Amino acid sequence: MNYSFKNDYAEGAHPKILEALSRTNLRQQAGYGLDDYSDEAKKLIQKRLRHHSEIHFVSGGTQANLTVIAALLRPHESIISAETGHIFTNEAGAIEATGHKIHAVATADGKLRPDDLQKVLDAHQNIPHQVKQKLVYISNSTEIGTIYSAGELQDLYRYCQAKKMYLFLDGARLGHALTAENNDLTLEIIAKNTDVFYLGGTKNGALIGEAIVINNEALREDFGYHLKLRGALLAKGRLLGIQFLELFRDDLYFELAKHANAQAMRIKEAFSQAGCHFLAETYTNQIFPILTQDQIEHLSLNYEFYIWKKLDDQHSAIRIITSWYTPEDIVNQFINEIKQLK
């Protein structure tokens, strides 16, 4: 069977996680997130944040996004997102279904900057005939693999605070961002420069699970109710706690992301040497090489990947994603194929 580079959730969980699930399996625990494992996992994450944030575990990214956004906003308030933002394009209207408009901003690299936000504000007149912009949604790494620098995040947060808007960071691939070679962000800086963010587990070695981190104290009240009313509160919350405990007990969370990034960078280097250009300059586990139709057909014989964007009749950008597990030897074989591209 062909090896798939289509996404980073094609395999199950890291073996340590499965072992922990077995080891703890029969110990009785309180339900709905009140188990000892969730408690311990939250403390481990808080320690790394050096910030007393409130933490909640949920099963997936769309659920995290819709629960957070709907909990924070009043009915007339809207969201600003990059046009490539996951909430804008790939969540079946989940955010709008909770009643809120998303303003989409076209960007070159999937990242929002204060100027982008200002343009949206300028296009609105702060009158009751138009929605009120209240929350800025960013992803790190972005949906096209780019990352925010510490300075960029700080600028953005300063701007949001000046405009009384919340900053929410979707960290479905935050591990990959924080371990990219060009990264200078830390969890501490994120905790100080966002109102809410989440640490993605599903795309980084867990079976399911995202850790929502609420830094802004004013936004914590009653958050548990929102989890329950969106169907996000698992009866066996231990399943989430145990996984994050393994991911953050030592540095597993970061090692898995580093592995994925490293394999992607090896493939990127091979495409570069084969003379290919890329749709975006990325250092995380997603790369977007631009290939000819013939090259795509050739690589498709033994590997699976998405055609991301058709550029002209002869060229398209493809998307290659590596995971916490992607075996080095398969990458070696793939690199050999790339070397033979004409």
State which of positions 251-310 bind a second copy (CB under 8 A): none
The full DSSP string for 2-55 is PEE-S-S-SS---HHHHHHHHHHTTS---STT-SHHHHHHHHHHHHHHTS--EE
Q: Which is nearer to a second copy, 183 or 284 (CB)?
A: 284
- Per CB under 8 A, the list member of 43, 119, 182, 225 interacting with a second copy is 225
Helix pair 150-162, 114-122: axis angle to 10 deg: 30
203 touches a second copy (CB under 8 A): yes
The least CB distance from residue 257 to a second copy, in Å, is 16
Q: Which is nearer to a second copy, 151 or 327 (CB)?
A: 327
Task: Report the candidate in 113, 103, 107 with the shortest Cα–Cα distance to residue 81.
Answer: 103
- For residue 261, the tally of other CB atoms under 10 A from its CB is 27
Q: Which is nearer to a second copy, 49 or 87 (CB)?
A: 87
The residue range among 188-196, 225-233, 247-255, 289-297 that interacts with a second copy, by the rule CB under 8 A, is 225-233
Window 66 to 105, contacts with a second copy (CB under 8 A):
66-67, 70-71, 74-76, 78, 89-94, 96-102
Binding-site string for a second copy from residue 228 to residue 247, where x marks contact by CB under 8 A and - marks none: xxxxxxxxx-xx--------
- Per CB under 8 A, the list member of 224, 290, 315, 333 interacting with a second copy is 224
Q: Which is nearer to a second copy, 152 or 246 (CB)?
A: 246
Backbone angles phi, psi at 200, to 5 degrees: -80, 130
Contacts of 113 (CB under 8 A, 6+ apart): 152, 155, 156
The least CB distance from residue 149 to a second copy, in Å, is 28
Residue with tokens 């936000």: 117
In angstroms, the CA 114 to CA 58 distance is: 30
